[in-house]
Amino acid sequence: MTRRELREHCFKMLFCAGFYPQQEIEGQLENYFLSPVEEEETPEGNEEILHNVNLGEEDRLALKERAGKVIQRIPELDERLNQVAEGWKTKRMGKADLAILRLALFEMKYDEAVPEKVAINEAVELAKKFGGKDSSAFINGILAKLV
């Protein structure tokens, strides 16, 4: 699995976890791996796989571990985001944007293998794919303030 695929799956897990109380998150993360393959037809008439969690055991463990580490640090990550997000506290942010911001901030602070510029760029790409029309600019602005 590529780093980008790992990041996208981790984002999806964090997004899903945002809908459940803390005591249910671990079970819901397990359910992530039971979700079916989702496909969509592109405007050109090609089939595009939107979601496929047919992963090997090593990739599954790495993904669960990474998502778990981010989830453990949510209070700390949210506190930092609230310090820089003027007028947009985490309780007010959209769930997709918030999950992307948490993941990017985690990578910037705790993953030495990911340079800050890469974390920001990847977060903006996730926002373009999964967020609203202004999400990429919003996320770029928040993360730029954190640097």
Note the CATH number of domain 3-146.
1.10.940.10
Domain boundaries, the chain: 3-146
**Taking a C-beta distance cutoff of 8 angstroms, is the pair 116, 105 a contact?**
no
User: pTM (2 decimals)?
Assistant: 0.89
In angstroms and rounded to an integer, the radius of gyration of the C-alpha atoms of the chain is 15
**pLDDT tens track for 83-94:** 998 888 999 999
**pLDDT tens track for 112-131:** 999 999 999 999 999 999 99
**Taking a C-beta distance cutoff of 8 angstroms, is the pair 55, 63 a contact?**
yes
